[in-house]
Amino acid sequence: MPRSAQFLPSQHGFAFTNSWPAQPAVVRSTPFGRIEIGNAAGGLCGGMVFAALDYWYAGLDPPGQRPEQGEPLRAYVVKRLVDSWHLPGGVLQYFQWMNLPDGDRGFEAFGRQVLTERGLAWRTISVQWPQIRADLDHGIPVPLGLVTVASAKPRDLALNHQVLAVSYHSAGDNITLLVYDPNHARRDDIAIRFPAGAPTAPTAFKHNLGIGHPVRGFFRAPYTRATPPAR
Confirm if 164 and 7 have CB atoms less than 8 A apart: yes
Which stretch of DSSP H or E encloses residue 144?
Answer: strand 142-147
Q: Residue 207: is it exposed, middle or buried by C-beta count within 10 angstroms (0-12/13-18/19+)? A: buried
Across the range 176-188, mean pLDDT stands at: 97
For 109-133, letters b (16+ CB in 10 Å) and e give eeeeeeeeebbbbbbbbeebbeebb
Across the range 55-77, mean pLDDT stands at: 92
- CA 109/CA 44 separation, integer angstroms: 48
φ, ψ (nearest 5 deg) of residue 191: -150, 160
* pLDDT above 60 (res 4): no
Task: Count CB neighbours of 171 within 10 A.
Answer: 7
76-96 tens-digit pLDDT: 998 999 899 988 888 999 999
Alpha-helical runs (H) found in 38-123: 45-58, 72-85, 89-98, 120-122
In this structure, of 34-48, 102-116, 153-167, 172-186, the range with the lowest mean pLDDT score is: 34-48
Selected residue with higher pLDDT from 10 and 115: 10
φ, ψ (nearest 5 deg) of residue 36: -100, 125
- CA 104/CA 76 separation, integer angstroms: 40
7-52 tens-digit pLDDT: 999 999 999 999 887 655 566 666 666 665 544 445 799 999 999 9
- Its pTM stands at 0.89
Confidence band (pLDDT; 50, 70, 90) for 150?
Answer: very high
Confirm if 25 and 81 have CB atoms less than 8 A apart: yes
